[in-house]
Amino acid sequence: MIFLFPEHQERYEQFIRQDGTHPKDRERQALLYVFAGFRDLGDRIEHFYDFEGRMIRSEAFEEVNLTSSSRAMVELAFNLYNNYPCGTVVDLFANLDERNRQLAIKAIKIRFGVNESGDGII
């Protein structure tokens, strides 16, 4: 798994431990990868994910003020986790800068088990 910056990996591993995510739970891995890689969202993850109940909190969309890019990333993370309704791929990616596009693509690869070289399943 490739991380975008050093704290991304540290935060991801912290979220995985805190959640007790199983090594084969790609849905949660993708979700937590997104939150760990988007600093603003990672700082507020408790609004979006209930670690104790191990579930997303869709009501966060009404509770938290989000930019268009952060909203797109939360929608993508939720969609990868449990097929939560979100916009089209074009709509989601239109709101992202290059770094967050990379984050989104890597999260999709995690969710569907595509390795980084693109030549097979993880």
Give the domain ranges of the chain.
12-108
Q: What is the mean pLDDT of residues 29-48?
A: 96
More confident position, 10 or 120: 10
Predicted confidence band of residue 86 (pLDDT cuts 50, 70, 90): confident
Task: Flag whether pLDDT at 119 surpasses 70.
Answer: no
Average pLDDT over all residues of the chain:
93
Name the pLDDT band for 115 (thresholds 50, 70, 90). Answer: confident
Record the pTM: 0.92
Residue 120: its pLDDT value, please?
54
- pLDDT tens-digit readout, 42-80: 999 999 999 999 999 999 999 999 999 999 999 999 999
pLDDT at 87: 85
Asked if 71 contacts 95 with a C-beta cutoff of 8 angstroms, the reply is yes
